[in-house]
Amino acid sequence: MSHHDDFEIEPVEGLPAEPPKGEEILWQGRPDWWALSIEALSLKWVAGYFILLAVWRFISVVDLLPLGQAIGSAVPFVMLGLLVCGLLTLVAYVQARATMYTVTDARVVMRIGAALTITLNLPYTQVSNAMLDLRKRGTGTIALETMGDTRLSYLVCWPHVRPWHIKHTQPALRCIPQAEKVAALLAEAAEARISMPQIVRVAPQNAVAAE
């Protein structure tokens, strides 16, 4: 498994170098920006919070002020909520456009990051498990549980991680369309790769002299 910063022009979008001879790209895609804003940036919860503040403000003054003024006192909370939600939606859109997930017959490659772009290279031989979180609209998240001593930073990889798994960060293909289809494709490729026989050259044994 490896990761590095990308400052060069990509020969293939989403990949830092041409795939090795014989490696086949099976799928490439980006997060659905709207699903990312809801699931990763909690857009609905943030909107609900500001709506609750506006309602609370209105109820607290409706008995003290005329109706028009009571409504007016709640408007700033609504406007602030719209601004925050707009910023969250913009962040989700930029993150989605800057991201490219690639599934090949040998590995998963994640080109992530809007301000600081990095590429995660995850060979199937270092992935112990893949988990699919499927949503109603067909989008979903595929989290990858890695093996070995390599540790990934949760903050550096966010939001392309399985939520709340901070100690052992699990990189994830977040909010991708047709997630079930991609998960099946990934599982089939990983199984085929792991079951491939490994040819290892060994030194010939010393001949035993006959007595």
Looking from the CA of 79 toward its CB, the CA atoms found within 13 Å total 6
Q: Which residues pair with 122 in a beta bridge?
A: 108
Q: Are 108 and 187 in contact (CB under 8 A)?
A: no
Residue 18: which pLDDT band, with cuts at 50, 70 and 90? Answer: confident
Please give the model's pTM, rounded to 2 decimal places. Answer: 0.81
CA 196 vs CA 105, 125, 190, 191: distances in Å: 12, 11, 10, 9
What whole-number distance in Å separates Cα of residue 67 and Cα of residue 59?
10
- Whether the per-residue pLDDT at 139 is higher than 70: the answer is yes
Which of 34-48, 66-80, 142-156 comes out lowest in average pLDDT? 142-156
- φ, ψ of residue 62 to 5 degrees: the values are -65, -25
Mark out the alpha helices in the chain (DSSP H runs). Answer: 33-39, 43-61, 67-98, 154-157, 179-194
Residues 33-40: what's their mean pLDDT?
Answer: 94
Residue carrying structure tokens 């390599």: 150
Q: What is the pLDDT of residue 14?
A: 81
Which of 41-55, 62-76, 86-100 comes out lowest in average pLDDT? 62-76
Residues 65-72: what's their mean pLDDT?
Answer: 87
Residues 126-139: what's their mean pLDDT?
Answer: 89
Q: What is the pLDDT of residue 209?
A: 44
Residues in the chain: 211
102-128 per-position pLDDT tens digit? 999 999 999 998 878 899 999 998 888
72-109 per-position pLDDT tens digit? 999 999 999 999 999 999 999 999 999 999 999 999 99
Tokens describing residue 48: 């609900």
Share of the chain above pLDDT 90, in %: 56
Q: What is the pLDDT of residue 199?
A: 53
